[in-house]
Structure 1
Amino acid sequence: MKSLLVNPGDVVVTDFGIYQHWSFVSDTVCSRGKPMLISATKRNGTVKEETWDTVTQGKNTYITKVQKVKAPSEILNTARSQIGKWKYSVESNNCEHFVKWASGLEVTSAQVVNTSAGLITGAVLVGVVAENPKFVHFLGGALLVAGIFLALTRASEKVTAE
């Protein structure tokens, strides 16, 4: 972890290439002095509070701006209430859904919405421009445009005063 100054309740985003993983900064630290993170992961299939290094896996991680309607302590209590209970699903209960839910926001995932829109747009484009397209063309076009749409759905880094 480079010198990233985080506070309990902050939302950090870890860049895993094609997708981003969203986590809450906990109010506890691990034995190595780094903050713990609370998140929903496919790796666990649920919500866990884990060490910074376990969650971020050494990938680029930064604080993102999320409009929260709850105090940090309430967010962390809400998040912890789902440890071992949240049933992870990439479509409806992923890390972004979890962060927004625990923050008291509308439960959506821009990553899921934009990827779905990209799949549909790509397939439609192939149908419009290709002469006699085959299934593989529809699939390739859908995946290409979905990847582009997903790449454009990056959480922005929170600007902090130095």
Structure 2
Amino acid sequence: MQSVKTGDIVVSDFDLYEHYSVVSDEISTDGKPFLISATKRNETVKEEPWDIATQGKYTYISDKKSNLSRTDILNNARSQIGKWHYSVRSSNCEHFSNWCLGLKVSSTQVVGASAGAVGGALLVKCCVDDPKLLDYIFAGTAGFLLGLFCSKAKLKLS
């Protein structure tokens, strides 16, 4: 945590998914920076103490690059406090951090999970004689989880 800088994107590992936050220039009484992020918990963007945003999970600095200055990244993040409408599919924490960086608003986690779910369902269609609804549900769920896992693995390997 000592090497984080204002405007950095940090990623907290919540086992099943990754949570993205923008490092603030505000410092709490414990010496840790505040983080700005979009969460389902808040339904919008909030600036919160490090420990609340990360919930004690392993957190590291993302290697995403931006052509914007750290000040612009922080200003972008703060401009959405209380305004960003959270949606896991289209405006989650990863979408938000990419938007703050001036990057394409996308989420590798959503893409990976969606592709996995569709792939699992297609596999059932191609490989199972007389598939039942439960076959599609099981394969879609397994594919969803595999796709989400692969999107996390890709993030750590790249």
Q: TM-score range by the shorter chain?
A: over 0.9
Secondary structure at the counterpart of residue 156 of structure 1 = helix
* Distance (whole Å) between structure 2 residues aligned to residue 17 and residue 132 of structure 1: 35
Contact 1:64 1:156 in 2 (8 A): no
Relative to structure 1, the CA distance from residue 157 to residue 65 in structure 2 (aligned partners, 3 Å threshold; closer, same or farther) is farther
Given that 1:65 and 1:156 are in contact with CA atoms closer than 8 Å, whether structure 2 keeps it comes out as no
Share of identical aligned residues, percent? 49
Distance (whole Å) between structure 1 residues aligned to residue 136 and residue 34 of structure 2: 43
Higher helix share: 2
Q: 1:144 Cα shift?
A: 0.4
Offset from partner CA, 1:76-130 (integer Å, 9 cap, x none): 0111000000000001100000001111111111111111111110000011111
State the SS of the aligned residue for 1:91. Answer: coil
Tell me the alpha carbon deviations over residues 16-47 of structure 1, each in whole angstroms, 9 at most, x when there is no partner: 11110000111111111101000000000000
RMSD of aligned residue pairs (Cα, Å): 1.3
Unaligned runs of 5+ in 1: none
Q: Choose which of 38, 41, 59 in structure 2 pairs with 1:40.
A: 38
Query: How far off is 1:4 after superposition?
Result: 4.6
- Structure 1 residue identity aligned to 2:109: Q
The letter of the residue matching 2:83 is K
The one-letter code sitting in structure 1 at the alignment partner of 2:35 is: L
Change (3 A) 1:131 1:157: closer
8 A contact 1:27–1:35 mirrored in 2: yes
Q: Partner residue of 1:62?
A: 60
Query: Which ranges of structure 2 fall in alignment gaps of 5 or more residues?
Result: none
Q: Per-residue deviation at 1:156? A: 2.6
Q: TM-score normalised to the size of structure 2?
A: 0.95
- Alignment partners' CA distance in 2, 1:126 and 1:114: 18
- Structure 1 length-normalised TM: 0.92
Letter in 2 for 1:122: G
- Counterpart CA distance in 2 for 1:102 and 1:157 is 23
Aligned length: 156
Query: Counterpart in 2 of 1:156?
Result: 156
Distance 2:50 2:118 in 1: 36
1:69 touches 1:105 (CA, 8 Å); kept in 2?
A: no
